[in-house]
Copies of this chain bind each other. A is one copy, B any other.
Amino acid sequence: MDEFDLIQRYFKRPYRKNAKVEIGVGDDAAVLAATPGRSLVVCADTMVSGVHFFSDVSPYDLGYKLAMVNLSDLAAMGANPVWATLCLTLPTPDKTWIKSFSNGLYEALDIHDVTLVGGDTTKGPMSLTLQMGGEVESGQAITRGGANIGDLVWVSGELGVAAYILGLRIEQREGGSVDTVQLGKLHNYLDRPEARVELGLAISGVASSCIDVSDGLLADASHICDASTVGIDLELDCLPLHPSLAEHLELDKIINCALSGGDDYELLFTVDPYKQRTLFDISARLGIGLRKIGTVTNTGRVRCFRDSVDVSAKYANNLGFSHFS
């Protein structure tokens, strides 16, 4: 099987009806229609074996997650996802692996009607790059830079499970006798995250700033602070912790997972206090839990409070995952 067969067999599917894709996989480049009055939003994420995933992870989950990680970036901009390109570097063309990977990728893309329009396949150490394009009304993208002092800080869903599961997997690989089987569906928080695309679209025009929680809540809150030149005070008592974690961990450790673990792919956003009512309506309509967890301040940095006590010092070194740090 050569490169062209590989593309033909696993990544060239009949197009879903999508008027925006004029020319897709198979030419030098893909051609996509632009909609007047709308802007193009593009993002890209790479996953590297041994860094973002263990080499024995299910290829189906890997494909699924690669798509969701990009969808989450578009969600955080309030964009409607449209197309993606895939650059795949693999040591060998293992057909079973590629088939399963492409099925997982397409499952996630299909949920949000995204068309794979091109890319590149190469032989080398395993590395997977997906790039995605979406659309937003001109001027309506939700950036990290729009938070205003006095805004309230909200987050969707529940935090910390992905970090907890990842911690257990690492322990297990290092020889610990950890029983991860009993955790059942909790594994999905790490392996098959769900991007908050509908939520991102719904809070466009409502939220003043937004980011997805991929590096960890503290790190991502600090990105909003940097981009908006504001501070954020977080109320740790208000964090939406997953109830199942209480069976396995003490509260302090659960809070740690929520603050410093990445991979949650929930949306962290700021909202003018007068717009809270709209958020309740959105939460009810989409069936997604939204929680108010803090306030935008003029301190220029992220602070953490418990029972009204400033406990920031405790988390000073927990600003999340960064490559090369």
Q: Chain A residues in contact with chain B, CB under 8 A?
A: 1-4, 6, 22-23, 26-52, 73-74, 76-77, 79, 83, 85-87, 89, 92-93, 117-125, 127, 129, 131-136, 138-139, 141, 143-145, 210-212, 227, 322-325
Contact = CB atoms under 8 A, between A and B. Distances in A.
Contacts of A32: 39-42
Nearest to A35: B34
Contacts of A117: 42
B211 A2 contact: no
A44 B120 CA distance: 6
Given A2-B325, A134-B29, A323-B2, A119 B87 contact: no
Number of this chain's copies in the assembly equals 2
Contact of A322 (B4, B26, B41): B4
A28 B211 contact: yes
13 contacts: A3-B323, A22-B138, A28-B74, A29-B41, A29-B76, A30-B43, A31-B39, A31-B141, A32-B40, A34-B39, A40-B133, A43-B118, A123-B324
A273 B303 CA distance: 72
Kindly name the residue among A36, A83, A324 whose own CB sees the greatest number of chain B CB atoms within 10 A: A324
Contact of A124 (B4, B29, B44, B48): B48
A100 to B, nearest CB: 17
Contacts of A29: 41-43, 73-74, 76-77, 79, 132, 134, 141
A325 B2 CA distance: 4
